[in-house]
Structure 1
């Protein structure tokens, strides 16, 4: 009897809940209000996503014609190197350790209709990496990777396009890199973008001597 009574009471509650739900669902004003609210929130989220993507795209710079993308100057400071990165009119001071250095950059090329209307390709310096020749030193190193740019909230258009092999018929995301070159006190390198990739050129005697000794 006890459980039979509980079953009937539970069934009665279910029927009451169903009646309330039916009344709400068949109320046209409630449904239209819910639909408007849902659509409004969806478009608000879309606007926020587009805004973040716009901010991410703003971190790319037009590729300068006939000029280097950046200049790197190295200065020994104990076990580390102080790196002065000059990019256009922007100057940054970084700390790196290692015997060799490497620079990664992203390039956004345009194709299709975007290329036809004259959109210019852009680039973004991504990270500066250092590496020791000795395995023991490399395993103990703590400043071998310096991030030069980040996408907000992890929303990264370039990475999504490249890893997912999407192009949206207008994008051509490319990765460019200066492979490991020697670090030396007072060495200065100029970074340019060529059809073959990023090109690092020694700008003073310290950099030229480091390249000769390394080879």
Structure 2
């Protein structure tokens, strides 16, 4: 049983007890047993508040579990200009479009991911991410060490971000659970378009965005 149901069932039970005591309170009021009616009123309020609190908690947990789904954060389209050199067009979820020149055999997209703990977790706060850089990789380890590298930053740190503050002052941000880097990579192929998603647990996932890219990957042995 999921945590959602573990919390929702007691919430429903508290709501049922509240309704039962409402009926008892009305009977006591009709018989002018005001002491008994007052006691039942206190119980009604207590169970009603407990039901509302548990229902809110179950709703927060349900929302958090739904984060296991994926959210597309970018698409990457590639055009080859010469061997091991490509033009990459990156479209991000915020509507931004940027073009870079990348050298190598594979592209790699890096991101920073921040996750939460209580009370932000119960509030339904989703993992946060920021795309950090787009770079090229070489399949040959020797070439990776010696050939020209292409690394393009995707963010500007004009002010300290939450990641930086958490690492410098962890005691002041106890509700930040974990912060880590995530990366996705696939081969650079002429005419390929990739969809990059952020999984509910915070990891980047790259897939071919269409059938033609899927065929290109198959022909390349991926």
The verdict on a shared fold, with TM-score over 0.5 as the criterion, is: yes
Residue 200 (structure 1) shift = 0.9
Please tell me whether residue 87 in structure 1 is matched to residue 92 in structure 2. Answer: yes
Normalised to the residue count of structure 2, the TM-score between the two structures is 0.57
- Greater CA drift, 185-194 or 163-172: 163-172
Equivalences, count: 150
Please tell me whether residue 102 in structure 1 is matched to residue 108 in structure 2. Answer: yes
Report which of the two structures shows the higher radius of gyration computed on alpha carbons.
1
Tell me, yes or no, if the aligned pair for 1:103 and 1:129 is still in contact at 8 Å.
yes
Residue 127 (structure 1) shift = 1.3
Tell me, yes or no, if the aligned pair for 1:84 and 1:94 is still in contact at 8 Å.
yes
1:117–1:139 distance in 2 versus 1, CA, 3 Å: closer
Please tell me whether residue 68 in structure 1 is matched to residue 69 in structure 2. Answer: no
1:123–1:187 distance in 2 versus 1, CA, 3 Å: same
Please tell me whether residue 142 in structure 1 is matched to residue 148 in structure 2. Answer: yes
Residue 24 of structure 1 corresponds to none
Structure 2 unaligned residues grouped into runs of 5+:
1-66
Tell me, yes or no, if the aligned pair for 1:70 and 1:86 is still in contact at 8 Å.
yes
Tell me, yes or no, if the aligned pair for 2:112 and 2:130 is still in contact at 8 Å.
yes
Q: Distance in 1 between matches of 2:116 and 2:141?
A: 41
Tell me, yes or no, if the aligned pair for 2:116 and 2:127 is still in contact at 8 Å.
yes
Q: Secondary structure in 1 aligned to 2:75?
A: strand
1:137–1:66 distance in 2 versus 1, CA, 3 Å: closer
1:137–1:165 distance in 2 versus 1, CA, 3 Å: same
Structure 1 unaligned residues grouped into runs of 5+:
1-62
Task: State the superposition RMSD in angstroms.
Answer: 2.8
Normalised to the residue count of structure 1, the TM-score between the two structures is 0.59
